[in-house]
Amino acid sequence: MNIDLKKLFDISLAAGKEIMDVYSKDIEVETKQDDSPLTIADQRSHNVIMDGLSKQYPDISVLSEEGRDISYEERKAWNQFFLVDPLDGTKEFIKKNGEFTVNIAVIEDHYPVMGVIYAPDLDVFYFGSKDSGAYRLEQASKSEINDESDLIDKSTKLPIEKKSETINVVASRSHMSDDTQAFIDGLQMNGQPVDVVSAGSSLKFCLVAEGKADYYPRFAPTMEWDTGAGQALVEAAGGKVIRHEDKERFYYNRENLKNGWFLVERG
């Protein structure tokens, strides 16, 4: 794989700095063709990430939400690529609730093998790979990190041991659906206590990776760049991300980049 987590850490923090510069001011919002919101922060983060990845890894292709118009004919031969969401949780960003993230995943042969998630307003950096496991670093921008081993040493290993018998289900603040509510109701019918934990953006994956949530059912549309880094993190922490329709592991670089329903389970 030969991709350095420290380099992805630096790129993510630089992107987060651009986002926070916009966040501190009045936010102007445009609307994409699919009616989803877009801000200048999305584009500024995208530019920083693309510049950083192209300098560090010029031979590896990048699929980013803000550069999505790459044909399937071109990308279907990719064995390895970066999957990027420069600003996940734009709705949360606009609401100014702090629950937005920078997501960078490494996809190899259709599956995520490494992922980093940076929440710039919270200043928390999550990262994981199939080789090193999953971790969380608090006060990321204030941490002096020299290399990848230093990053791992100064971070908290995930998941954190769960002590409660309550089943925690994480659900989106912006996308709670009837089917998600039905999933929660089904757990409660088994007689176990269930709490709902709300979160925006890819922080929902982070809660499962940390062990603060047992399930994240997503029975509503997402795109591949919304989930790649989160899946890498959850799987590095021992969890699973499975397709709703056939219970198989979630995979990537499909012809249609829109995701079907899925369920995230803690390890």
Can you give the pTM of this predicted structure?
Answer: 0.95
Q: Tens of pLDDT along 25-48?
A: 887 878 777 667 778 999 999 999
CA separation, residue 45 to residues 14, 118, 222 (Å): 8, 12, 20
Q: Tens of pLDDT along 93-104?
A: 999 999 999 999
Reply yes or no on whether the pLDDT at 173 is more than 70. no
| Percent of the chain at pLDDT exceeding 70 | 97
Reply yes or no on whether the pLDDT at 52 is more than 70. yes
Out of 3.40.190.80, 3.30.70.870, 3.40.50.1780, 3.90.220.20, select the CATH number for domain 167-265. Answer: 3.40.190.80
Sorted by sequence, the CB contacts under 8 Å of residue 37 that are 6+ apart come out as: 29, 30, 31, 90, 91, 94
CA separation, residue 76 to residues 153, 210, 229, 251, 252 (Å): 37, 33, 20, 13, 10
Assigned CATH for 5-157:
3.30.540.10
Taking alpha carbons only, the member of 25, 43, 23, 216 closest to residue 123 is 23
For the chain, domain boundaries: 5-157, 167-265
- Per CATH, 5-157 and 167-265 having the same topology is answered no
Reply yes or no on whether the pLDDT at 172 is more than 70. no
